[in-house]
């Protein structure tokens, strides 16, 4: 039987880098790429994917009937949720869509996977015994560090923006689905990513663009904040190790 992966948000920055990496690495993999095509998505990001193994569905992760249809038509054994409203500044000026997509969307995906994969709590259907749900989260759920230190999985959640609060809520839902239903749900909390296909609203592309245009470079606060950066390929390579 063909194995399908449902990738939500696969036409955005990290999702498309992941698909370009994993579909070259595993030539048996078929991907359903569910993407709403917000301003952050681009067809260019996914143009090089093998068409015979990549199905693009333009749709919303909050659309429960659509999710149920996708699960009922294909033998989906893995879900990776990259889909999100992801820009912190936008979450401050217009938080509502962040709550909808990042919290309700994660819930709808978890719920669709639960119905498809489990017969009852902690009883996976035989055909889905190895199925896994990966929720792509952020280290921003842990808040800010002082001058020193690092975050661990055991660090207390302390989100500071509507964006990070919405991601933290989705993490709690993924955790609850694991504890309550035994859904094989995993959360990754990566730091800032950078690399190809990143939208120009994000920090590094914005700095490069402004430097090239000779316009002032935007700095957060007094410019002394420290950020940790991860090259997007490193994130993609470590993200789905079986």
- Footprint of ligand NAD (CB under 6 A): 8-9, 11-15, 34-38, 40-41, 60-62, 82-86, 101, 105, 136, 138, 167, 190, 192-193, 199
Measured from the CB atom, the residue of 87 and 178 that comes closer to ligand NAD is: 87
Measured from the CB atom, the residue of 110 and 118 that comes closer to ligand NAD is: 110
| Candidate list 35, 140, 142, 181, residue with the active-site label | 140
Least distance CB 5 / ligand NAD (angstroms): 15
Measured from the CB atom, the residue of 184 and 190 that comes closer to ligand NAD is: 190
Least distance CB 201 / ligand NAD (angstroms): 9
Measured from the CB atom, the residue of 132 and 167 that comes closer to ligand NAD is: 167
Instruction: Please name the residues in contact with 73: beta carbons below 8 A apart, sequence gap of 6 or more.
Output: none
DSSP code at position 157: P
Least distance CB 116 / ligand NAD (angstroms): 18
39 included as an active-site residue: no
Radius of gyration of the chain (CA): 18
Distance (Å, whole) CA 120 – CA 122 = 6
Distance (Å, whole) CA 211 – CA 220 = 16
| Candidate list 142, 163, 177, 181, residue with the active-site label | 163
Least distance CB 235 / ligand NAD (angstroms): 8
111 included as an active-site residue: no
| Candidate list 60, 77, 104, 139, residue with the active-site label | 139
The residue ranges of DSSP E strands in the chain, in sequence order, are: 4-8, 30-35, 54-58, 76-81, 118-120, 123-124, 132-138, 185-190, 192-194, 229-231
Measured from the CB atom, the residue of 11 and 79 that comes closer to ligand NAD is: 11
DSSP code at position 27: T
Q: Which residue has the CB atom at the shortest distance from ligand NAD?
A: 12
Closest CA to 83 of 66, 92, 73: 66
Residue 232, CA distances (Å) to 40, 136, 165, 172, 204 in order: 16, 13, 23, 25, 13
Are the C-beta atoms of residues 151 and 189 closer than 8 Å to each other? Answer: yes
Least distance CB 186 / ligand NAD (angstroms): 14
DSSP 182-213: ---EEEEEE-EEESTT--TTSHHHHHHHHHHH
140 included as an active-site residue: yes
Q: Hey, which residues are catalytic here?
A: 139-140, 163
């Amino acid at each position: 039987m063909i194995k399908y992966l449902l990738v939500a948000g696969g036409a955005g920055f990290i999702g498309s880098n992941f698909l370009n990496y994993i579909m070259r690495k595993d030539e048996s993999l078929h991907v359903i790429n569910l993407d709403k095509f917000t301003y952050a998505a681009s067809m260019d990001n996914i143009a090089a994917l093998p068409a015979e193994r990549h199905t693009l569905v333009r749709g919303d992760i909050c659309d429960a009937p659509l999710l149920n249809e996708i699960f009922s038509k294909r033998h989906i054994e893995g879900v990776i949720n990259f889909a999100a409203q992801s820009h912190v500044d936008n979450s401050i000026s217009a938080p509502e869509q962040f709550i909808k997509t990042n919290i309700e969307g994660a819930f709808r995906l978890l719920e669709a996977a639960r119905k498809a994969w489990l017969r009852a709590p902690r009883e996976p259907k035989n055909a889905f015994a190895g199925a896994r749900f990966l929720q792509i989260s952020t280290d921003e759920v842990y808040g800010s560090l002082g001058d020193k230190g690092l975050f661990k999985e055991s660090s207390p959640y302390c989100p500071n923006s509507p964006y990070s609060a919405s991601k933290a809520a989705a993490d709690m839902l993924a955790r609850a689905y694991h504890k309550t239903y035994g859904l094989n749900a995993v959360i990754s909390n990566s730091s800032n990513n950078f690399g190809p296909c990143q939208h120009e609203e994000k920090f590094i592309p914005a700095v490069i663009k402004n430097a090239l245009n000779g316009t002032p470079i935007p700095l957060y606060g007094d410019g002394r904040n420290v950020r940790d950066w991860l090259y997007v390929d490193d994130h993609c390579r470590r993200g789905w190790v079986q």
